[in-house]
Amino acid sequence: MTADPPQASRPTHLTLVPPHRGGGHGLPVATGPARRTVTTAPDPLQAHGGGHAAAVPSPVVSVTPAEPAGEPEAEPPAQPAEPATEPPAQPAGAPASPAEPPARPAEAPASPAEPLAQPAEAASAEPVEAARPSRADSDEWRGIVLVTGTDTEVGKTIATAAMAAAAQAAGLRVAVIKPGQTGIATGMPTDAEVVTRLAGPETVRTLSEFPEPLAPLAAAKVAGLPPLDLFDVVDAIRAEAEKHDLVLVEGAGGLLVPMGVRPSGEAWTFADLATTLGCGMIVVARAGLGTLNHTALTLEALNRRAVPARVILGAWPAEPELVHWANLGELVPHLVGALPAGAGSMDPGVFRRSAPGWLTPALYGVLDNWRVWAEEAG
């Protein structure tokens, strides 16, 4: 009579979360299939994984149907007893072939059992979003890696130095290339000088310098100097890639800033450089208001060009506000690092020792849990 109440006693703390599509802000990422998560106390990263170790074995209910191969041969459950009777029948050539299919269904139940064990391990690990940045091995970011920003003055140079420092600490030979340095007339330290002081990579090169603090192509025109040639830059980068494990190439401003000209006279951008080289891109973004739109636009432009990309927060404030936590929660699926504000003013020795803690293993760091990081940073 009262059979309904037990059914109504399903755990109310479990909710089925659909695949995350960038938090509703157009961030072009597609995480794994639908899963179950535990809604716990309020947390800035709750809705986006953010390092939660919350894991419920129940996700296997969405996985076990993925083994339909054993279904068509479900009739042989009664046949496992026949293999005992079939050995006498094996001398006959014809029965021997039907005897093999029953052996496979006998193994099939073992394979559906394995998904039950695997989600248990996945449950104890990070959720899909938190694991995704470190899912790819460090090899994903070997070779040539371009570094751009969602805007100017977002921390590209300091982030480049941090990546160089972490990679060198991991034993890699690192080169840093700045295709076009502008603003020489201001007397400020160049990006190459900053990277050399903070990280001290094996090789640091600036291919061209221009006096005015403008986009490289505009600065070249104003100064009457030859603009950057796309294929000269490509050749210089590839030459360093032959001698180094990791070559970090820092752009100027944002992704679509005009950098120079092609042999045809057409302007080229940092996005064009990425597609020509066939390499991945690190996008350095702000942590504050407006960053979701800027980051989404940059990632979408890269996604349309089939350029792999991840995000680093260039300057996480010492006293983060609500907007910073909200943005962090949205960006977690994309993040491979976050630098503290003022990192560029650190003593070089402190900077080099600290850099791995700001980056995930994909960039040779040790940051593997965003929730823990958020608690320590907050």
Tell whether 47 is covered by a domain. no
86 and 149 share a domain? no
Which amino acid makes up residue 314? G
List the chain pLDDT tens, one digit each, 378 residues. Answer: 444 544 444 444 433 334 444 444 556 544 443 443 434 444 444 444 444 334 333 333 333 344 444 444 444 444 544 444 444 444 444 444 444 444 444 443 344 334 334 433 433 444 433 333 333 344 468 999 999 999 999 999 999 999 999 999 999 999 999 999 999 999 999 999 999 999 999 999 999 999 999 999 999 999 999 999 999 999 999 999 999 999 999 999 999 999 999 999 999 999 999 999 999 999 999 999 999 999 999 999 999 999 999 999 999 999 999 999 999 999 999 999 999 999 999 999 999 999 999 999 999 999 999 988 888 876
Q: Give the model's pLDDT for residue 122.
A: 39
Ramachandran quadrant class, 205 (left: phi over 0; alpha: psi -120 to 50; beta: rest):
beta
Instruction: Count up the domains in the chain and report the number.
Output: 2
Q: Give the model's pLDDT for residue 375.
A: 82
103 and 185 share a domain? no
Tell whether 115 is covered by a domain. no
102 and 164 share a domain? no
Q: Which domain holds residue 227?
A: 133-377
226 and 306 share a domain? yes
Q: How many helices (H) and strands (E) does the chain have?
A: 14, 12
Which of 156, 178, 221, 243 is catalytic? The answer is: 178
Nearest in space to 342 (alpha carbons), one of 222, 133, 105, 162: 162
CATH number at residue 147: 3.40.50.300
Tell whether 120 is covered by a domain. no
Tell whether 30 is covered by a domain. no
138 and 269 share a domain? yes
193 and 263 share a domain? yes
Encode 95-124: b = buried (16+ Cβ within 10 Å), e = exposed: eeeebeebeebeebeeebeebeeebeebbe
Residue 58 burial class via C-beta count within 10 angstroms: exposed 0-12, middle 13-18, buried 19 and up: middle
- The single residue listed with the structure tokens 């802000």 is 25
Q: Give the model's pLDDT for residue 23.
A: 47
143 and 103 share a domain? no
82 and 219 share a domain? no
225 and 343 share a domain? yes
Distances in whole angstroms, Cα of residue 325 to Cα of each of 43, 258, 297, 331, 370: 9, 33, 20, 10, 12
Tell whether 227 is covered by a domain. yes
168 and 102 share a domain? no
User: Would residue 243 show up in a list of annotated catalytic residues for this protein?
Assistant: no
372 and 224 share a domain? yes
Which uninterrupted H or E stretch holds 99?
helix 93-107
Q: Give the model's pLDDT for residue 376.
A: 83
Distance in angstroms (rounded) separating the CA atoms of residues 148 and 284: 6
Tell whether 225 is covered by a domain. yes
Q: Give the model's pLDDT for residue 85.
A: 44
| Strand 258-261 to 228-229 pairing | parallel
Tell whether 324 is covered by a domain. yes
Which uninterrupted H or E stretch holds 86?
helix 82-89
86 and 216 share a domain? no
- Nearest 5 degrees, angle CA 231-CA 214-CA 200? 70
Distance in angstroms (rounded) separating the CA atoms of residues 3 and 19: 34
Q: Give the model's pLDDT for residue 374.
A: 83
